[in-house]
Amino acid sequence: MHSKPKVFWIDAVGCNGCSHSFFNYGEIKELLDKIELLYHPLLPSKEFKVQRSDILIIEGALKTTYFPRLDFNLVDLIFELIKLSKKVIVVGTCSVYGGIFGEGVLFNKKKEGKFFEFKEKMIALPGCPPHPEWIAYVIEMLIENKNILMDKENRPKEIYSYTSHMGCIRNEYFEWKIDVLEFGTKEGCLFYDQGCQGPFTHSSCNRILWNEINSKPRAGTPCFGCTEKEFPKKNLFKTETFMGIPANIPLGVGKRAYLTIAGIAKSLKNERLSKRLINEDN
Amino acid sequence: MSKEEKKLEIMKTALNLFAKNGFYTTTIADIAKEMGMSVGNMYNYFHSKESLAKELLIYTSKIFGDEIRKINDMNISSKEKIKKIVELYFNMAKEEPELVDYFMRVYLSNKEIFSNGCEGMLCVSAFVTEIMIFFEEGVRKKELKNQDFFAAFGLFMGYIGGLAFLFREGILGKDLDEYIKPVSENIYNALKA
């Protein structure tokens, strides 16, 4: 690419949360210095006009009925911008899968989305919002003209090969099947009762920490699975179970194998972890 | 006969004796005698009566588990699966009563033998896992009511185990086969969505 790639950031139907996440990138100034920002709805940029770009970033979902945006019908505008761009970063779960607000640009939940035909030049960054470093990583890779390894859904493998379970500081409790008994306690796993979707959610939230210090499960909130196509689900603070057995089990393991190992781990009770490590009451 | 085959023979012999005479009354010498082996040679296979009892529990649990797995893999409704599991259990109670007797008269009645090494699901996981899968899939298919696992497990296994026990005690007025249909229906009615 050019020494200063032209970047166009368009917001579709959404909350601008992905933009705000990006604004928290620690080296945003240095990154912005490396690009020529053609348009961003919130940052100072040139006057809006439909034009060619090296990198188009689409934030937010689509509405396929008439939806005005910058004097265009939204879907028509997005179509024009995609055609005029070399690479497209589809940023946020709304844009990738539809998320909270509507239809996705690349996918519509599990189906192909309105602009699936342009998949070749798209990079998907689901998340509600995606971590600022994930967004910056992809922009930097494109600036450097480096190859981004991607999975079948065009998500960068570097970010989405992992689950948000990986790196969770509660993993020892998961190993021994020791649940959080009370919301907000430091000890215990959030998977069995509190709704944590970490073991089956593709994300790096516990590897690349939020604000460089934390993640939802570390702070005691279950992973909501916000990078996944089914997001948002209902009852985010309650694990869905069928006859007491988690409806969703960790990725990559069969149900029979998981139940066997879970039953054995539970039977071999870990005494140390069965009580609070730090009891503030005495 | 390979060492593994011999070991299995000893287990089958012990299973019969434990089921018939109880764990404490049966001695290693009794099992050796039945096998036509010396007591010393027996210890080449099992270092204690307790370890033999634990291996037997894993063995019987696996036999039950493997059979229930076949039912789980069938493309039939939960209602039909319930009937097949009841049928399986009652047939075993009739054809291989030592298996059921061992589970009920030795394992469930003498938990102290199994307290070190067979805690919780450790030695019965093959069987319990298949029952879990049966329940989980039934709820997933919306055929069974979503409820606490043990509430359902107790209702199912406690019920058929109780009937098999009454049968073995000679208390049932009718043949066990005649209870397959009403018992299956009762279980289904209690578990259905």
Q: What is the ipTM of this complex?
A: 0.86
Whether B148 and chain A come into contact, CB under 8 Å, resolves to: yes
pLDDT digits 0-9 by tens, B113-137: 888 888 888 999 999 999 999 999 9
Alpha helices in chain A (DSSP H): 17-23, 28-33, 74-83, 93-97, 132-143, 157-160, 171-175, 216-219, 255-267, 271-274
Q: Which of A241, A243, A266 sits opposite B152 (nearest CB)?
A: A243
CATH code of the domain occupying B49-191 = 1.10.357.10
* Distance from the A166 Cα atom to the nearest Cα atom in chain B, whole angstroms: 26
CB within 8 Å of chain A, chain B residues 52-91 = none
* Distance from the A263 Cα atom to the nearest Cα atom in chain B, whole angstroms: 6
User: Which residues on neighbouring strands pair with residue A179, listed in sequence order?
Assistant: A189
CB contact under 8 A, A243 and B125: no
- With CA atoms as reference, the chain B residue closest to A242 would be B136
* Distance from the A128 Cα atom to the nearest Cα atom in chain B, whole angstroms: 28
| Per-residue model confidence (pLDDT) at position A45 | 84
Alpha helices in chain B (DSSP H): 3-21, 28-35, 39-42, 49-72, 78-95, 97-101, 125-140, 149-153, 159-168, 180-191
| Per-residue model confidence (pLDDT) at position B37 | 93
- With CA atoms as reference, the chain A residue closest to B191 would be A243
| Per-residue model confidence (pLDDT) at position A282 | 60
Whether B144 and chain A come into contact, CB under 8 Å, resolves to: yes
- With CA atoms as reference, the chain B residue closest to A268 would be B119
CB contact under 8 A, B139 and A259: no
Whether B179 and chain A come into contact, CB under 8 Å, resolves to: no
Return the minimum-mean-pLDDT range out of A95-99, B14-18, B108-112: B108-112
Give me A9's structure tokens.
């950031």
Residue B96 phi, psi (nearest 5): -130, 65
CB contact under 8 A, B132 and A243: yes
Q: How far apart are CA B154 and CA B183, in angstroms?
A: 14
Q: Which of A243, A260, A267 sits opposite B147 (nearest CB)?
A: A243
DSSP string spanning A112-176? E-TTGGGGGGEEEE--SSPPHHHHHHHHHHHHTTPPPPB-TTS-BHHHHSSBTTTT-TTHHHHHT
Is residue B50 packed enough to be buried (19+ CB in 10 Å), middle (13-18) or exposed (0-12)?
Answer: middle
* Distance from the A266 Cα atom to the nearest Cα atom in chain B, whole angstroms: 8
Q: Which of A242, A261, A267 to mutate to test the interface with B (most CBs of B within 10 A)?
A: A242
* Distance from the A12 Cα atom to the nearest Cα atom in chain B, whole angstroms: 37
Provide the 3-class DSSP secondary structure of residue B161.
Answer: helix
pLDDT tens, residue order, chain A (282 aa):
447 999 999 999 999 999 999 999 999 999 999 999 999 999 988 889 999 999 999 999 999 888 888 889 999 999 999 999 999 999 999 999 999 988 999 999 999 999 999 999 999 999 999 999 999 999 999 999 999 999 999 999 999 999 999 999 999 999 999 999 888 888 999 999 999 999 999 999 999 999 999 999 999 999 999 999 999 999 999 999 999 999 999 999 999 999 999 999 988 889 999 888 887 776
Closest C-alpha among A212, A15, A51 to residue A133: A212
List chain B residues with CB under 8 Å of A242.
135-137, 139-140, 146
| Per-residue model confidence (pLDDT) at position A102 | 82
A159-163, A274-278, B16-20, B46-50, range with greatest mean pLDDT:
A159-163
pLDDT digits 0-9 by tens, B139-178: 999 999 999 999 999 999 999 999 998 998 899 989 999 9
Q: How far apart are CA B129 and CA A260, in angstroms?
A: 6
For B9, which DSSP code?
Answer: H
For A57, which DSSP code?
Answer: E
Using CA atoms, how far residue A219 sits from A128, A187, A243, A260, B89, in Å, is 17, 11, 29, 30, 48
CB contact under 8 A, B125 and A260: yes
List chain B residues with CB under 8 Å of A269.
119-120
Instruction: Kindly list the structural domains of chain A, giving each domain's residue range(s) and its CATH number in brackets, ordered by start.
Output: 6-157 (3.40.50.700), 162-282 (4.10.480.10)
Q: How far apart are CA B2 and CA B150, in angstroms?
A: 41
* For residue B64, pLDDT beyond 90: yes
Q: Which of B54, B61, B70, B125 to mutate to test the interface with A (most CBs of A within 10 A)?
A: B125
- Specify the pTM: 0.89
List chain A residues with CB under 8 Å of B82.
none
B2 or A122, higher pLDDT: A122
Count of CB atoms situated within 10 Å of the CB of B169: 8
